[in-house]
């Protein structure tokens, strides 16, 4: 099949050609004609399947035929769980709309709000946003939804995992009743179905991957070893195999920092990306990794969500994730859009149960390979036989728990989190002014960031400026 048969105009087709895409991916084949009908669409598609173009291309096609946008208004709203994903989706929108009179911009927390307010002043056709910052902007009258035609929830499953359900419901309540809704999610879990009930209407459902299946183009294996040997083993693997671009996952932010230091000590260029890093530092690390200046990017799960690095050849699980589904997301970073990738997990005896849980979710035993010189003293027991998957019982959507969300992408800044009362009327704030100010200083991650590096992004060289 070619893109020419999907109902897209010449301007969009030439932008696709410029990106070098020749054939639509399976999700694009199904989602583009479905969205062009103007109906609601629910799509089960993992990251790496080409889902972003799957919703962006038909939405641009529809918008290019409509009315022009009024000041502070938005015609299509894309909500994403993380800042990195928001930035990437926005970049795709810019690329695909290069030949159209369509404006777009991106807003997320962790950077100054004022430049974002300025960019929204004239109105934008497509706004990509994390939920918390969008609500902040709405409460400051910087964004209006009366012209909204399309709402897109991207990686909706992750948004629920990160506790954004209340913000999402609040945003939905602000939108005009008559609109098109597109819900993209890695899986259609019972929680996603519950969310969809109040959102989509007579939707077209499409799915390209069985639930939690890992990309076929990813070769996976486990290297059994001891916890203490992991750092040396990972440096050995990078040097011995001459890997030039490796994404490594650790469980904790401290673990990510420690491993980065160990790698640097071995002469391997590395940077860490996690929720304690400023947005500026994260953007810089990602850019350096993409350009090849940094050989290894060490990331925690939430920070890595949405990273799209073309043809990433190598993913290493330094530690297995506690949530088995995160394994699927982690290895989705490699083997993207048809290219082959390798995902290697360094597993010690303590992680045996986590490995079995992952094997249950992916319904496959992962091959094991012993690396001579790094054999475990504490043996990794063989995995038990895999039980067939059981349907999960619907759970109540989680309430957002501030302390437990490691990286508060998209959550509101301290100012509006006080219930939108002016400081003078907020007794709680008045009484606690000194102590809460003290707390904020050290802990808040979503205050507009005043570090030098974030100034670089939000100042003159802001890379996410509106384009017309
Ligand atoms: P996504 O799943 O949207 O994160 O996209 C994954 C990667 O696939 C991105 O790097 C896209 O640029 C790329 N991509 C999207 N559509 C196609 C296509 N039809 N052919 C080749 N690559 C594509």
Average pLDDT over residues 35-40: 96
C-alpha 277 – ligand 1 centre gap (Å): 28
> Is the pLDDT at 171 greater than 60, yes or no?
yes
C-alpha R_g of the chain: 22
Give the closest residue to 405 by CA, choosing from 92, 163, 179.
Answer: 163
Closest CA to ligand 1's atom 1:
50
Alpha carbon distance 18, 421 (integer Å): 49
C-alpha 308 – ligand 1 centre gap (Å): 9
Atom of ligand 1 nearest to the CA of 46: 2
User: What pLDDT does residue 277 have?
Assistant: 80
User: What pLDDT does residue 174 have?
Assistant: 97
Whether 109 contacts 131, CB under 8 Å: no
User: What pLDDT does residue 417 have?
Assistant: 45
Best residue for ligand 1 mutational test, from 27, 52, 86, 312 (most atoms within 8 Å of Cβ): 52
- 42 membership: H or E segment, kind and range: strand 41-44
C-alpha 279 – ligand 1 centre gap (Å): 25
> Is the pLDDT at 233 greater than 70, yes or no?
yes
153 token code pair: 């929830």
- The number of beta carbons lying within 10 Å of the beta carbon of residue 330 is 24
Please state the φ and ψ torsions of residue 249, each to the nearest 5 degrees: -105, 130
Name the pLDDT band for 279 (thresholds 50, 70, 90). Answer: confident
Name the pLDDT band for 256 (thresholds 50, 70, 90). Answer: very high
Average pLDDT over residues 300-317: 74
> Is the pLDDT at 93 greater than 90, yes or no?
yes
Atom of ligand 1 nearest to the CA of 19: 12
Whether 108 contacts 130, CB under 8 Å: yes
Closest CA to ligand 1's atom 6:
48
Best residue for ligand 1 mutational test, from 3, 12, 47, 50 (most atoms within 8 Å of Cβ): 50
User: What pLDDT does residue 75 have?
Assistant: 98
Which string of b and e fits 402-425 if b means at least 16 CB within 10 Å? eeebbbbbbbbbebbebeeeeeee
Atom of ligand 1 nearest to the CA of 25: 19
Best residue for ligand 1 mutational test, from 337, 338, 339, 341 (most atoms within 8 Å of Cβ): 337
C-alpha 19 – ligand 1 centre gap (Å): 9
pLDDT in tens, 197-231: 889 999 999 987 544 445 557 789 999 999 999 99
C-alpha 337 – ligand 1 centre gap (Å): 5
Name the pLDDT band for 325 (thresholds 50, 70, 90). Answer: confident
Alpha carbon distance 156, 158 (integer Å): 5
Of 8-12, 84-88, 121-125, 134-138, the range with the lowest mean pLDDT is 84-88
Atom of ligand 1 nearest to the CA of 47: 2
Of 18-22, 119-123, 440-444, the range with the lowest mean pLDDT is 440-444
C-alpha 408 – ligand 1 centre gap (Å): 27
- 459 in the Ramachandran plot: left (φ > 0), alpha (ψ -120 to 50) or beta? beta
C-alpha 11 – ligand 1 centre gap (Å): 19
Closest CA to ligand 1's atom 16:
50
Strand segments, DSSP code E, in 179-333 are: 180-185, 204-207, 218-224, 246-249, 270-273, 296-299, 314-317
Average pLDDT over residues 238-242: 93
pLDDT in tens, 442-464: 333 333 333 333 323 232 333 33
C-alpha 48 – ligand 1 centre gap (Å): 6
Atom of ligand 1 nearest to the CA of 92: 12
pLDDT in tens, 361-418: 888 899 999 999 999 999 999 999 888 776 555 555 555 555 444 444 545 544 444 4
Of 282-296, 304-318, 321-335, the range with the lowest mean pLDDT is 304-318
Against a cut of 0.75, is the pTM above it? Answer: no
CA 444 to chain centre: 21
Pocket of ligand 1 (CB under 6 A): 21, 24-25, 28, 47-53, 308, 310, 336-337
C-alpha 439 – ligand 1 centre gap (Å): 42
User: What pLDDT does residue 70 have?
Assistant: 96
C-alpha 15 – ligand 1 centre gap (Å): 13
Name the pLDDT band for 436 (thresholds 50, 70, 90). Answer: very low
Atom of ligand 1 nearest to the CA of 51: 3
Which string of b and e fits 66-89 if b means at least 16 CB within 10 Å? eeebeebbbbbbbbbbbbbbbbbb
User: What pLDDT does residue 331 have?
Assistant: 80
User: What pLDDT does residue 208 have?
Assistant: 77
């Amino acid at each position: 099949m070619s893109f020419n048969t999907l109902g897209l105009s010449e301007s969009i087709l030439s932008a696709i050609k410029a990106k070098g895409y020749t054939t639509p991916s399976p999700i694009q084949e199904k989602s583009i004609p479905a969205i062009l009908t103007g109906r609601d669409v629910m799509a089960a598609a993992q990251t790496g399947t080409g889902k972003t173009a799957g919703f962006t291309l038909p939405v641009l096609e529809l918008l290019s035929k409509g009315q022009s946008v009024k000041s502070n208004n938005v015609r299509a709203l894309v909500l994403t769980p993380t800042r990195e994903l928001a930035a990437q989706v926005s970049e795709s929108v810019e690329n695909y709309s290069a030949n159209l009179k369509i404006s777009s911009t991106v807003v997320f927390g962790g950077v100054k709000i004022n430049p974002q307010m300025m960019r929204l002043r004239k109105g934008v056709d497509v706004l990509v946003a994390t939920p918390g910052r969008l609500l902040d902007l709405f409460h400051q009258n910087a964004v209006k939804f009366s012209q909204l035609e399309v709402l897109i929830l991207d990686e909706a499953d992750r948004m629920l995992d990160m506790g954004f359900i209340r913000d999402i419901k609040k945003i939905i309540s602000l939108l005009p009743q008559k609109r098109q809704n597109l819900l993209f999610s890695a899986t259609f879990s019972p929680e996603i179905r519950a969310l969809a009930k109040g959102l989509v209407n007579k939707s077209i459902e499409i799915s390209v991957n069985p639930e939690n299946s890992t990309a076929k183009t990813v070769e996976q294996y486990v290297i059994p070893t001891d916890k203490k040997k992991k750092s040396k083993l990972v440096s050995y693997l990078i040097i011995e195999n001459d890997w030039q671009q490796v994404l490594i996952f650790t469980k904790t932010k401290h673990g990510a920092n420690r491993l980065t230091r160990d790698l640097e000590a071995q002469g391997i260029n590395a940077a860490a990306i996690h929720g304690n890093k400023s947005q500026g530092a994260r953007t810089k690390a990602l850019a350096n990794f993409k350009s090849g200046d940094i050989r290894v990017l060490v990331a925690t799960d939430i920070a890595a969500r949405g990273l799209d690095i073309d043809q990433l050849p190598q993913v290493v699980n330094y530690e297995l994730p506690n949530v088995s589904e995160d394994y699927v997301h982690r290895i989705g970073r490699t083997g993207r859009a048809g290219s082959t990738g390798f995902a290697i997990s360094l597993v010690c005896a303590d992680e045996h149960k986590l490995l079995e849980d992952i094997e249950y979710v992916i319904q496959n035993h992962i091959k094991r390979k012993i690396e001579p010189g790094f054999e475990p003293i504490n043996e990794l027991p063989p995995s038990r036989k895999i039980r067939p998957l059981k349907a999960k019982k619907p759970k109540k959507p989680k309430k957002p728990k501030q302390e437990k969300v490691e990286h508060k992408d998209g959550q509101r800044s301290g100012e509006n989190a006080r219930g939108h009362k002016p400081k003078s009327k907020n007794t709680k704030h008045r009484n606690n002014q000194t102590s809460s100010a003290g707390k904020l200083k050290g802990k808040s991650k979503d205050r507009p960031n005043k570090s030098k590096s974030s100034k670089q992004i939000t100042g003159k060289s802001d890379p996410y400026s509106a384009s017309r």
